[in-house]
Amino acid sequence: DAGVIQSPRHEVTEMGQEVTLRCKPISGHDYLFWYRQTMMRGLELLIYFNNNVPIDDSGMPEDRFSAKMPNASFSTLKIQPSEPRDSAVYFCASRPAGGTYEQYFGPGTRLTVT
C-alpha cells in the first residue's frame, strides 16, 4: 500500500491567495483527519470525517478554512484567503473503522504564506 498521500509537499504563496491541500487516504480506511502542526501550538486536530461525512470541525480556526471529502479516496483542505499565521505543516491521517485506533499519517504539506 502506498500509504496516505498528500500534495503538494511544499507550498509557498502570498497573503490573500487561495490554497488547496489534497489528501488521498489509505484504501479501505473509514476515517480521515486533518491536523496542523506549528512550533507554538503543536499538533492540532482541525476536522475529521467518517465515511466522507464531516463529524467534528470544532478545530477549524475560522471561516477561512474549509474541508471537503467528495469520495472515499480524496479530501481537500482549503484556505481562502490565506494569511501568514496559517504557515504550518498540515498533515492528513486516516484509520480503519475496526482494529486498533492507530492513525496513519501522510508526509504532510509544508505551507508558507508570505
Q: Which positions touch another protein (CB under 8 A)?
A: 31, 33, 42-45, 48, 50, 55-56, 91, 93, 100-108
Nearest distance in Å: CB 50, another protein? 8
Return the SS3 of 53: strand
SS3 per-residue string spanning 92-111: EEEECCCCCCCCEECCCEEE
Nearest distance in Å: CB 53, another protein? 13
Nearest distance in Å: CB 24, another protein? 15
Pick the closer one to another protein by CB: 12 or 97: 97
Distance between CA atoms of residues 44 and 52, nearest Å: 20
